[in-house]
Amino acid sequence: MDPAPDVQLVLAYDKVLPLHSSVLARHSKRFASILTHEFAAVLCQRAKQQGVTIRWRIELRGVGVNGNSVGRLELDTMGQLIQNPSYGTMIPLNENGKVPTKYFEYYTGIIGTFYGQELTLNDVGIQSALEDAIGLIEVAEYLGSVAAVSKNIDLALIKQGQVLFRSIANNPLEWVDLAVRITSEIIFKEAVVHLVGRWNEFSSAQKSALGKDVKRVCLKHADHLSRQRRALELQMGVMYPGGITHPPNAAPVKRDTYAADIMMWMAVCLFRQWLMQQIIQDKTFRAKDGGYALYKQLSEAGDKYLSRQTIAPFFRNFPMTKKGQNVFENHLLELKEVVKGSVAKSGLLESESALDTGKFKVPWLTCTVVDKADFPWVKKGPILGQKRVRDETHENDENEIDWDEDLEANADNKRVRE
């Protein structure tokens, strides 16, 4: 037989919950501080015989007053039951058919989880679900029961599936804050992936508004992503398709040896000219999209850039026969395939997002890998807590291209000449 309730929680005039002190104190720090013997009503023998079991009566007051949306819980005077209570600033749950605030629902929902009930969110739309989640976590933080309800809120949000992930992609700044408050690994990972991918488009004020630990994680991954992109762009600037390089230990190299490769050299020259234009126009790693549009073009090759129509002016400056033009275009396509392979190898266009980017495309990079060490709520060791000092010499070396190594790597790219 279940024990009789010994707590009466008055949320509103018409919303009174009979509860158990042992359950409330076990799941809520605030209730644990209120429900002590010091504040409990002493029941006489006659009251017990009449079936009175309530020893604590708590009222919710001040909801929505002076910016305090969650209100405050107050124990009645001396822990005694009030026969004709004056509710003061209490408001009714149902006012002319309207619920004046959803915080009554939030209190009821959170306390319900103490008894094993499932927590539900408004699933009319993801914005409504987000509002409910924020309201619930505000109440949970006030009650000191975040640990008891965070997983329930997390699961309720995750059930939204792709709707949730689309919302996170569109508004990662708000979602990452909620993720930290409910310690949600999935939502935190997803938010950081999009924060880093969109890092260049956020203002300094928006970045400064991030929590200290969240900003540290984003800066670390943004720096890593920047290095990846710069390395790819530097590589494209010095790459040579296989077959046009001639190692010094090969047979004597004469002028006609290079003359045979003149069409490919012209294609390389045109590609680098085009790449330089993209850099000057800030379409590379400094672009607002982090270079996504450029890398996407490079990965698709073909006519996605330097198409036949685009290079028509080139033939006006460097006229050649129709056959010569076809040979040149074939060499250019061959070069694009080499570039395509480099982009694929860089992994920049791979997606670590839970969002179905094939169905719901986003115009930024989503390749950031977030691991458990990035979670702000995971205790950090002394090494992670130390200030990071950059070795400028090493950083500069990392951005330099080893010409010999690059030439050897590209020598394996065999081409078929027409």
Greatest Cα-to-Cα distance within the chain, rounded to the nearest angstrom = 116
How far is the C-alpha of 139 from the C-alpha of 198, rounded, in Å?
32
Spatial CB neighbours of 76, under 8 Å, sequence gap ≥ 6: 57, 58, 59, 82, 85
pLDDT at 379: 72
Hey, what are 102's tokens? 């959803």
Which residues is 16 bridged to in the sheet?
10
Residue type, 252: P
Percent with pLDDT over 90 in the chain = 58
pLDDT at 32: 94
Whether pTM exceeds 0.85: no
CB 92 within 8 A of CB 13: yes
- Per-residue pLDDT band at 217 (split at 50, 70, 90): very high
Percent with pLDDT over 70 in the chain = 83
* Out of 4-8, 123-127, 190-194, 303-307, least confident range: 123-127
Whether the pLDDT of residue 139 is over 70: the answer is: yes
The residue with tokens 């107050």 is 74
Q: Tell me the average pLDDT across 268-289.
A: 94
Backbone angles phi, psi at 314, to 5 degrees: -60, -40
pLDDT at 258: 82
Residue span(s) of the chain under CATH 3.30.710 come to 7-160
CB 363 within 8 A of CB 293: yes
Residue 233: CB atoms within 10 A of its CB come to 19
CB 180 within 8 A of CB 214: yes
Per CATH, is 7-160 categorized as 3.30.710? yes
Whether the pLDDT of residue 341 is over 60: the answer is: yes
* Out of 97-106, 137-146, 229-238, least confident range: 97-106
Residue 314: CB atoms within 10 A of its CB come to 18
User: Strands across the sheet with 7-12, in order?
Assistant: 15-19, 7-12, 56-61, 72-75
E strand map for 211-362: none
pLDDT in tens, 25-39: 999 999 999 999 888
pLDDT at 68: 65
pLDDT at 318: 92
Residue type, 184: S
Higher pLDDT, 253 or 183: 183
Hey, what are 334's tokens? 């061959």
- Per-residue pLDDT band at 86 (split at 50, 70, 90): very low
CB 325 within 8 A of CB 270: no
How far is the C-alpha of 331 from the C-alpha of 323, rounded, in Å?
13
What average pLDDT does the structure give for the chain? 84
Residue 68: CB atoms within 10 A of its CB come to 12
Higher pLDDT, 415 or 333: 333
Q: Which of 250, 406, 264 is nearest to 328 (CA)?
A: 264
Higher pLDDT, 24 or 92: 24
Identity of the highest mean pLDDT range in 88-97, 99-108, 357-366? 357-366
Q: Tell me the average pLDDT across 366-384.
A: 82
pLDDT at 389: 39
- Per-residue pLDDT band at 213 (split at 50, 70, 90): very high
Residue type, 139: V
pLDDT in tens, 346-355: 999 999 999 9
Higher pLDDT, 169 or 256: 169
Whether the pLDDT of residue 83 is over 80: the answer is: no
- Secondary structure (DSSP) of 87-121: -TT---S-BTTB-S-THHHHHHHHHHHHTTPPP--
The residue with tokens 């065999």 is 414
How far is the C-alpha of 228 from the C-alpha of 146, rounded, in Å?
38
Residue 44: CB atoms within 10 A of its CB come to 10
pLDDT at 381: 55
Q: Which of 30, 48, 51 is nearest to 39 (CA)?
A: 30
pLDDT at 114: 93
- Per-residue pLDDT band at 1 (split at 50, 70, 90): low
- Secondary structure (DSSP) of 374-405: G-TTSPP-HHHHSPP---HHHHHHHTS--HHH
* Out of 1-10, 97-106, 213-222, 391-400, least confident range: 391-400
pLDDT at 360: 95
